[in-house]
Amino acid sequence: MEAEPSGSALAAGAAGGKAIRGSALRVGSYGAQLALSLIAVPLMVRHLGPDDYGRYVTVSSIVFIIAGFTEGGLMYLGVRHYVALEGAERERYMRSLTGLRLVLTVLGVLAAIAFTWVTGADQIIVIGTAIVGVGTLFLLVQATYTIPLQAQLRFGTLSIIDLLKQLVLTLFIVAFVVIGTGLQPFYWATVASGLAVLIVTLWFVRGELTTLLPAFDVQVWRRVAHEVLPYGLAAAMGLVYFRLAVVIMSYVATPFETGIYSTAFRMVEVLTSLPWLAVATGFPILVHAREDTQRMRVALQRMFEVSAIAGTALALAIALGAPFAVAVIAGPDFDAAVPVLRLLGLALVTCFLVATWSFALLSRDRFRELLIANTIGVAVVAAGTFALEPSLGAEGAAIATVLGEAVLAALYVVILAQSDRALLPQFGFLWKIVLAAAAGTLAFLLPVPSAIEAVIGLATYVAVLFALGGVPAELLHAFRRRES
């Protein structure tokens, strides 16, 4: 966790190994967070029931979408500039970025409250949007202060902060269930979690800047706006498309169908953070190597291979273990969520690929192309949900979401090829993943509970993949021997 100058950390030959181990560390931390979720979420779902839990997820999705627009890619662009700038110029930029994040998030939360009120949402949704908006304000400002930690590859510190966020959230949710409160107090758990991690993050980065106070430097803001506007809109659209279906359903579907979709969506949503956590550890390397096509090509190909392996593993686990997951987390009232969960699980494959190629395009400033692709993804999900939900219900919304993900991944490949054909992914290894996944699906035939099917299926997938030589050598090397 010791601070290290960002330049030396990225220029060193061990940067790749650090990124791989850092990715594993953050994924491991996220696994611990999921374990905490398995304590809190089942209690909350059973306590609130389908209707109120649907309202809870609706509020979370609305605020998340608004936060996506106000976030505008500021954090990852901040990492780019932290790596490139030094001294007083770096400090001025970072403080101004924090001030800009603060102002934009406040405006975004007010817009979200106005949206729910104007569109006639239930009063509890309007109130919840205001409360969760405050918690989101804390979390987005906190994310800005983690930029020095990311640029310096201090993934141990970041993992601790991530785990603390979920721990505080879990403690409050469990407490509210035990007390027997209604829906509204559960919104306040986000505020408590956001405030806690903001305070801890400020303590960790206290020596990185002369002062941690935000600056309201309009001159820097203009510079940031000129650079961030195209990518900011692209990043916002990228966050919107995956969560758009649940918002649309809250207006056009029955509360029960919305609750069924929200339950399956929430289970997958917590896993969609994994691709971004895992791939983000390699982003500073991609930025540092943007002028070195050969280094970037190799790094990007390895990231693609690992993403395809991990995404397929998660999709397979969900397909096999969906009945068990729904039974444990939601209970028998939510059996209809099983097929919805299996469909949404397919989106995790493309989600990993989208994350990988998104960071590659960001590192090469392909903001306009990202905006166009993400806008198309939003349109596909919206059109698909309106077209399929009336006849297929929650499953129709799930199909629309998966289709939007697949279209987005394909568009990213096209844009990457147009950017530099040398960066075009090599797909020749995919047959190994397909064959390993096919072997894993044979677990469906076993007369055992779905949880055991998932374990056997995953073990088979991994064993076949190793036997075929489908695991990149660099991945194994990073853990066998730590480079000096």
DSSP string over 103-169 = HHHHHHHHHHHHHHHHTT--HHHHHHHHHHHHHHHHHHHHHHHTHHHHHTT-HHHHHHHHHHHHHHH
Residues 220/92, Cβ–Cβ less than 8 Å: yes
pLDDT of residue 5: 41
The Cα 31–Cα 28 span in angstroms is 5
pLDDT at 131: 95
pLDDT of amino acid 20: 60
pLDDT by residue, tens only, the chain of 484 residues: 334 444 445 454 455 555 566 666 766 777 788 788 878 888 898 898 878 888 888 888 888 777 777 766 677 677 777 777 777 778 787 888 888 888 888 998 999 899 889 988 889 999 999 999 999 999 988 888 888 887 777 778 888 888 899 999 999 999 999 999 989 999 999 999 999 999 999 988 877 766 778 878 787 777 777 766 666 667 667 667 667 888 888 788 888 888 888 888 888 887 877 777 777 666 666 766 666 677 778 778 888 888 899 899 999 999 999 999 888 888 777 888 999 999 999 988 888 888 888 888 877 778 788 888 888 988 999 999 999 988 898 899 999 999 988 998 999 999 988 877 877 888 888 999 999 999 999 998 889 999 999 999 999 999 999 999 888 766 666 555 544 4
DSSP 8-class letter at 470: -
Contact partners, residue 203, CB within 8 Å, separation at least 6: none
Residues 180/125, Cβ–Cβ less than 8 Å: no
User: Which residues make Cβ contacts (< 8 Å) with residue 226, sequence separation at least 6?
Assistant: none
DSSP 3-state assignment of 393? coil
| Residues with Cβ within 8 Å of residue 89, at least 6 apart in sequence | none
Q: So what's the pLDDT on residue 435? A: 95
pLDDT at 463: 94
CA distance 351 to 174: 30
Residue 212 is encoded by which pair of tokens?
A: 């941690």
Tell me whether residue 470 is exposed, middle or buried, using C-beta atoms within 10 angstroms of its C-beta: 0 to 12, 13 to 18, 19 or more: buried
Using the structure block, give the residue that is written with the tokens 């096919």: 438
Can you tell me which residue has the tokens 């959230």? 169
d(CA 176, CA 19): 39
What does the alpha-carbon distance between residue 220 and residue 226 come to, in Å, rounded to a whole number? 10
Residue 408 near residue 358 (C-beta atoms within 8 A): no
Neighbours of 277 (CB within 10 A): 20
Say what the pLDDT of residue 457 is. 94
Report how far Cα 266 is from the mean position of its chain's Cα atoms. Answer: 12
